[in-house]
Chains A and B, each alone.
Chain A
Amino acid sequence: MPDAPRLARVLVGALAHAVPTVIGIVILDFFLLRLAPGDAADVLAGESGAATEETVAALRSRFGLDLPVLDQLLAYLGNLTHLSLGFSPRYNMPVSDLIMQRLPGTLVLMLVALVFALALGILLGVVMANFAGGWPDRLLSVVALLFYSIPSFWIGLMLIVLFSVKLGWLPSGGAETIGSDLTGVAHLLDRARFMVLPGLSLSLFYVAIYGRLVRASMLEVTAQDYIRTAAAKGLSPVAITVRHALRNALLPVTTVAGVHLGGLMGGAVVVETVYSWPGLGRLAFEAVMARDFSVLLGVMLLSAALVIVANVLIDLIQAWLDPRIEVA
């Protein structure tokens, strides 16, 4: 593999950027969250309905909320150096345990949505570019515009109405059949059925973006000289599209898809709420309502790390797709 040393250089370069970025994000997030009025003690006191000044103060000192802001930050950073994300006052358990419970659900959802978005988007774009100006192109352009402009919670609700309520094909929420003791393939299939609708509603917006992007870049690439060279070799149109055009046309798509991973996480908050999906998005939402900043910080730190990992991956994929890229 002559590509290996080059890819290794790209990887090292990307990781060198990652560490200071994460530290910066943690500190910035920490101060941003202080701007919200109230804290976890207020919410806990409010929910108990009959808290005295003394109990609230006791709660604050127990969770370290009465310390000066800078001391709190230093304490948090100190925890991080020990790979601890702190303790959640609301859930009464370590934040890392809480996050690890919810992380797989969200990761799977994001992955499914991204795969849906890329597969459908690339297919859509290739078909549109192939029939550029013709009726399939126009029809699909309108479809893409619809996907692009409809908010994902509404798409989610409408998919539930159609596939769960009217047709009864797919479940309307949750992650698996409750109380079932399926194992092996049957268990996987059961979970897959629960994944389809949330994955689809999260991905349709991105299907539209990738579709239009692939269409534009396919049209640009197919006008290139090397496509004519490929035709002069006697390759079939399918071989030309797949082997010569698509690989070049995918470069801009990978860039945008990397940026979208962060956006997918944000979109997951909405979709997880609509489908009562037990993921990080809903955890973040609940943490905001409870002013449970340590959980929120943990989620934000994790999503930052996720975006950074995604970017490194994208750098690697691009370096692999395009040999002209040296150090991204």
Chain B
Amino acid sequence: MTVLLDVRDLSISFPNARPVQELSFTIEEGETLAIVGESGSGKSLTALALLRLLPRTAQMSAGRVRFAGRDLLALSEREFRKLRGRDLAMIFQEPMTALNPVLPIGAQVAEVLRLHLGLSRKAAARRAVEVLDLVRIPDPARRATAYPHQLSGGQRQRVMIAIAVAAHPSLLVADEPTTALDVTIQAQILDLLAQLRRDLSMALLLITHDLGVVAEWADRVIALYAGRKVEEARPEQLLGTPRHPYTQGLMAASPRQRVGYHYTDGPLIEIPGHIGSAAGEAGCPFAPRCGFTEPSCRTSMPPLLAREEGRLVACPVTAAREISHGHAVGL
């Protein structure tokens, strides 16, 4: 497998906040990488930064962003526009508002085809119907002339996906694509994304806060906390044996972890504190909410250490405990 996207030390800052700090990750061709985190962890900003769609007030810096062999940081805005929507596409959280209300959906898909593939108006309209069929919009030829307000939320998200995949991108960034949809539609949309990923051999960057989605659809997962990567692993590793105190807390808070337990049976478990509690302070951002804090946690950000094959955890404290625990068992 070759690396499609290689991001090193991505930081995003606003005049009075740094919501993403020194984030590094790679995506291989055809891979699904999930980024999970709670609201405010910087996951959506990371996605927007990849497409250079950050709000004007945001500043982005990175040591390196390489995509399909090209240095994205060196591209001018004009050059980047050619990439955006063609090789690098994105779908958003809110299908209800992400489509232009005054244009028929077919025209909105065809716009991408005309822009990036240089198709004529007629050819683009024909191809748009095929793309709508690809995302399983029923009766696509008739539906192409429908307006967004005539479609359901799930169908609108399919149209968004059609717009994104129309030019066969090699990477699709999906920013919480199912958050605004109800549960049965969620599974359909994610199935569709998974199938398109296989059929079009594209990589998928899936931004979500839903651990269930991660378990079923991701190849690899990164947990973000306050703009920093705290753990990277395969989904079964992260969900089965979380190594970072934050991911451990997340899993403990999931009602599904306790057999036969229903959320009406008693109080829900939560991680005390909130995500902004360490803003502007040195050290590990999770330290104020962590049960294992040591003095060193307050002074410098713990480095990401490889634990097992393909696994990175930013917590030396749990690492040390595991080692001593492992020794104890071994003796």
A-side contacts of B99, CB under 8 Å: 226, 229
B-side contacts of A43, CB under 8 Å: none
Q: How long is the Cα–Cα vector from A228 to B164 in the complex, in angstroms?
A: 13
Contact yes or no, A229 B102, CB < 8 A: no
Contact yes or no, A224 B97, CB < 8 A: yes
Stretch touching chain A among B86-94, B122-130, B308-316: B86-94
- Which partner residue on chain A sits nearest B85 by CB separation? A234
Work out how many contacts link A and B, with CB atoms closer than 8 A.
70
Contact yes or no, B89 A247, CB < 8 A: no
Q: How long is the Cα–Cα vector from A321 to B100 in the complex, in angstroms?
A: 12
A-side contacts of B33, CB under 8 Å: none
In this complex, the interface size class of chain A, counting residues with CB under 8 Å from chain B, is: 20 to 34
Given contacts A225-B98, A248-B102, contact A232 B116 (CB under 8 A): no
Q: Give the Cβ gap from A220 to chain B, nearest Cβ, in Å.
A: 13
Contact yes or no, A232 B51, CB < 8 A: yes
- Which partner residue on chain A sits nearest B94 by CB separation? A225
Does A231 have its Cβ within 8 Å of any Cβ on chain B? yes
Partner of A231, one of B53, B112, B163: B53
Contact yes or no, B149 A323, CB < 8 A: yes
B-side contacts of A230, CB under 8 Å: 100
- Which partner residue on chain B sits nearest A236 by CB separation? B81
Q: How long is the Cα–Cα vector from A235 to B82 in the complex, in angstroms?
A: 9
Contact yes or no, A229 B98, CB < 8 A: yes
Does A244 have its Cβ within 8 Å of any Cβ on chain B? yes
Does B217 have its Cβ within 8 Å of any Cβ on chain A? no
Contact yes or no, A321 B102, CB < 8 A: yes
Given contacts A235-B115, A324-B149, contact A228 B84 (CB under 8 A): no
Q: Give the Cβ gap from A137 to chain B, nearest Cβ, in Å.
A: 15
Interface residues of B in 62-98 (CB under 8 A from A): 81-86, 89-90, 92, 94, 97-98
Does A233 have its Cβ within 8 Å of any Cβ on chain B? yes
Contact yes or no, B101 A233, CB < 8 A: no
B-side contacts of A66, CB under 8 Å: none
Over the window 274-303 of chain A, the binary record of Cβ atoms lying under 8 Å from chain B Cβ atoms (1 yes, 0 no) is 000000000000000000000000000000
Q: A235-B81, A248-B102 are in contact. List 4 more A-B contacts (CB 8 A).
A: A229-B92, A234-B86, A244-B103, A323-B149
Would you list 29 pairs from A and B whose C-beta atoms are within 8 A, ordered by A residue?
A225-B92, A228-B53, A229-B92, A229-B98, A229-B99, A229-B163, A231-B84, A232-B53, A232-B84, A232-B92, A233-B84, A233-B112, A234-B81, A234-B82, A234-B86, A234-B112, A234-B116, A235-B85, A235-B111, A235-B115, A236-B81, A247-B102, A247-B103, A248-B100, A248-B101, A248-B102, A321-B102, A323-B102, A324-B149
